[in-house]
Amino acid sequence: MDKIKTAVEDANAFLSLVNLNSFKNFSVYSPVYRMTNENLREVVTNMNLENKDVLSVCGSADQYFTFLLFGAKEVDLFDVNKISEYYLILKIIGALTLSLDEYIKFFVGTNTGTYDDNRSFFDEKLYVKIRKYLPLNVQAFWDTLYKNGGNIIKRFGGCFFSPHIKFSNIPYLNKSRYNELQKILEKRGVPSFIQSDILGLYGKVEKQYDMVYLSNIYDYVFRKDKVKSWYSFLREIEGMLKAKGTFVNYSFSSEELAEYKKLGMEVCVFETLRFIDEDIAFVYRKK
């Protein structure tokens, strides 16, 4: 009962948000990316995830699905935003319940790059199909949004499928891969979720991982003196990594590439993977 009460309180706190389209100041209650805008296909192509333990940002849950699909043994998740866990579970049950066409209709919608063109996103008929399989507290959260939320769509960021960001960048959005993902999810429960920002994460993590994937959170947290901040932050990252473990920081800009390379020569070995346009992943491998 307490979980249900908390879920309703979380839903109402989420509904009280004023700045619905802001993805610059993340907090316990913030808008949620409904689909990733990262080129996850390139990330997994360049990483050996087979039978590996991964700690990843939860975000849109697409990272979780992708890492499982490419062989990760366990994927634990963290996020400062509590709402991302409710969304994660909705997407897991959605993937287990809906066909690929239904899944795309419900979670991607008909988005063309604006927040208003989302006519099929969160379609209530499809929600009814998912709802009966949701844990009661998660069901209570989404029921509250549907009942009191009005245009709840605006609380979830656009899918960002602009001409250079394609379905192929999210590996499970094709029929064969989607079917494979469904089989994997059928054998798993809800993953471990740590509600934390990256600055408090080290104290809450209870084991070490083969890979820690932070998306581009580092760029948000350390807007100033990113390179200088790396020295102290690296100690915490290393504490979360197994021997020869990998830390991946995704970035949408190559402006500081030269500085990061210099830093890598001093304290670590970076692999710089170039994706689309300005997208880069800085990869640190623990020695």
Enumerate the domain spans of the chain: 2-193, 196-285
DSSP single-letter state for residue 51: T
**Cβ-contact 47, 39 below 8 angstroms:** no
3-state secondary structure of 60: coil
What's the whole-model pTM score? Answer: 0.89
- Return d(Cα 68, Cα 179) in angstroms, integer: 13
Residue by residue, pLDDT tens for the chain (287 residues) are 699 999 999 999 998 876 665 556 678 898 888 888 888 888 898 889 999 999 999 999 999 999 999 999 999 999 999 999 999 999 999 999 999 999 988 888 754 444 445 567 888 899 999 999 999 999 999 999 999 876 677 778 755 555 445 677 889 998 999 999 999 999 999 999 999 988 889 889 989 999 999 988 877 776 666 666 776 777 788 899 999 999 888 877 666 666 666 655 333 455 666 665 667 888 888 87
Retrieve residue 45's tokens.
């192509």
**CA torsion through residues 175, 110, 252, 18, sign:** negative
Under a CB-based contact definition with an 8 Å cutoff, are residues 66 and 44 in contact? yes
For residue 10, what are the CA distances in angstroms to 29, 143, 263? Answer: 8, 12, 41
What is the spatial distance between Cα 93 and Cα 189, in angstroms, rounded to a whole number? 11
pLDDT tens track for 116-162: 455 678 888 999 999 999 999 999 999 999 998 766 777 787 555 55
CATH code of 196-285, in short, is 3.40.50.150
Residues 6, 194: Cα–Cα separation, whole Å: 17
How far apart, in whole angstroms, are the C-alpha atoms of residue 66 and residue 57?
A: 12
Q: Supply φ then ψ for residue 232, to 5 degrees.
A: -75, -35
**Which of these, 91, 23, 88, lies nearest to 56 by C-alpha position?**
88
CA distance 116 to 258: 39
- DSSP conformation class of 132: T
Taking the C-alpha atoms of residue 61 and residue 34, their distance in angstroms, rounded to an integer, is: 8
Which candidate, 179, 211, 171, places its Cα nearest to that of 42?
171
What digits encode the pLDDT tens for the residues 45-68?
888 999 999 999 999 999 999 999
Tell me which residue of 7, 33, 11, 26 sits closest to 88, measured CA to CA.
33
What's the CA angle centered on 61, arms 16 and 171, to 5 degrees? 140
* 178: Cα separation from own chain's centroid: 18
